[in-house]
Amino acid sequence: MESHIVKVLAVIPVTHNVKHFRVTKPEGYTFVPGQATEVAVNKPGWEDERRPFTFTSLNEWDFLEFTIKIYEDRHSVTDQLGLVQAGDELILHDVWGAIHYKGEGVFLAGGAGVTPFIAIFRQLQHDGKLGKNTLICSNKTAADIIMKEEFTKMLGDRFINTLTEEHHSAYDHHRIDADYLRRKIKDFTQQFYICGPDPMVQGLKEILTDLTGSDSLVTVEI
């Protein structure tokens, strides 16, 4: 398996526990929006500890970007990434398929599950093809919403947020379930994309297969 040592160019806070990591781009390194690679921190004892993260940059950019939630309470790769600064090094591996865009539809994300959708929406915006795509995100609190300003600028009222652990006048307070989907979506003949915690993904896949009448319209992160 091919690997690349890349230098961290910048670490940019996104929320209280999510950061953009911008790194140098190896020559000829390309991906499809929605794809991922395995990332390790290039320091003693962590070189072989790899975790999958989705690219949130575009191929047109001269650097790579990952948008990663940091878990400081875990002795893990994300905990170590939380300590990474500009000038440090990461190790990247082969590109592999995550979630692929199949056409206009509704994207459903739980927390950091929105990250595979970032490059997809950025590419659609770049190509002038945002169309009527809709993004529905579920987070615990308003402080957890990732890239709120950028998604709002791209999608306007087609960027919908619901909170599960906080009442906020600007957002819904409801889990994404069958009742919520029926209230928010009128057309169940379009594509649906799901990414988030495993129980949420499996539950929504079953709900949407029932609502659409076909599992061919439901795409989940691989």
Task: Select from 129, 97, 98, 52 the least CA-distant residue to 195.
Answer: 98
- DSSP output for 69-88: E--TTSSSHHHHHTT--TT-
Domain boundary among 33, 61, 96: 96
Q: Mean pLDDT in the chain?
A: 96
Q: Using one digit for the tens of pLDDT, what is the confidence trace for 162-196? A: 999 999 999 999 999 999 999 999 999 999 999 99
pTM: 0.95
Residue 100 in tokens = 């692929």
Mean pLDDT confidence for 92-113: 94
Distance between CA atoms of 148 and 129, rounded to whole angstroms?
Answer: 20
Distance between CA atoms of 42 and 91, rounded to whole angstroms?
Answer: 6
Q: Are residues 143 and 188 in the same domain?
A: yes
Q: What is the pLDDT of residue 222?
A: 62
CATH number of the domain bearing residue 181: 3.40.50.80
Mean pLDDT confidence for 211-215: 92
Q: Are residues 119 and 201 in the same domain?
A: yes
Residue 33 in tokens = 């929006």
CATH number of the domain bearing residue 19: 2.40.30.10
Q: Are residues 162 and 57 in the same domain?
A: no
Q: Are residues 54 and 89 in the same domain?
A: yes
Name the domain count of the chain: 2
Q: Are residues 127 and 209 in the same domain?
A: yes
Cβ-based neighbours of 36, under 8 Å, separated by 6 or more: 52, 53, 54, 55, 95, 96, 98, 116
Distance between CA atoms of 99 and 154, rounded to whole angstroms?
Answer: 20
Residue 55 in tokens = 């690219």
Domain that holds residue 211: 105-220
Q: Are residues 129 and 84 in the same domain?
A: no
pLDDT reading at 65 higher than 80? yes
Domain boundary among 96, 122, 156: 96
